Amino acid sequence: MDLNHLHLHTKNIDNARKFYEKHFNFKEHALHGNILFLRNENCFDLALMPDEKEWKFPDWFHFGFRLGSPEEVGELYLKLKNSGENIDTELEKYDDFVFFRCLDPDNNRIEVYWE
């Protein structure tokens, strides 16, 4: 059994869509009512629902993207940083773990890592 989707509320669906398409390789998949579904090459769905209320997860909450190598993590880190995106935790490198955290346009914390 695989986890196959994440549902997020967003103040601006277009900004969120552009962010996830540009940096995380999601593509528009379907629109069901006012919920936009983005899908990546692994068939993981990201459901974006417009919502004027600001939703805040606990400070410890994040979701993650595992990449195939430490170099890929470093490349995405530089791409996000050079694009002016909000880096929450700078790139950290260990022998068996490399990661950073960034924030999406709605301040959801994302961890990008390799292990």
Residues 68, 106 share a domain: yes
**How sure is the predictor about 102, in pLDDT bands with cuts at 50, 70 and 90?**
very high
Q: How many domains does the chain have?
A: 2
CA distance 10 to 56: 11
Residues 69, 36 share a domain: no
**How sure is the predictor about 2, in pLDDT bands with cuts at 50, 70 and 90?**
confident
Q: Which pTM was predicted?
A: 0.92
Cα 98 to Cα 32, 77, 78, distances in angstroms:
37, 11, 14
Cα 32 to Cα 5, 48, 57, distances in angstroms:
15, 10, 25
Residues 43, 23 share a domain: yes
Check whether 1 has a pLDDT greater than 90. Answer: no
What's the CATH code of the domain at 30?
3.30.720.120
N-to-C CA span, the chain: 22
Q: How many CA atoms lie within 13 A of 111 on its CB side?
A: 13
Residues 21, 38 share a domain: yes
- To the nearest whole number, what is the mean pLDDT of the chain? 96
> Which tens digits make up the pLDDT trace of 65-82?
999 999 999 999 999 999
**Residue-number span of the structural domain to which 20 is assigned:** 1-52
Check whether 55 has a pLDDT greater than 90. Answer: no
Residues 112, 89 share a domain: yes
Edge-first strand listing for the sheet containing 109-114: 63-66, 109-114, 97-103, 86-94
Residues 106, 80 share a domain: yes
What's the CATH code of the domain at 104?
3.10.180.10
Residues 92, 42 share a domain: no
> Which tens digits make up the pLDDT trace of 18-47?
999 999 999 999 999 999 999 999 999 999
Count CB atoms within 10 A of the CB of residue 112.
23
pLDDT at 54: 80
Residues 29, 77 share a domain: no
Indicate the DSSP class of residue 54: P
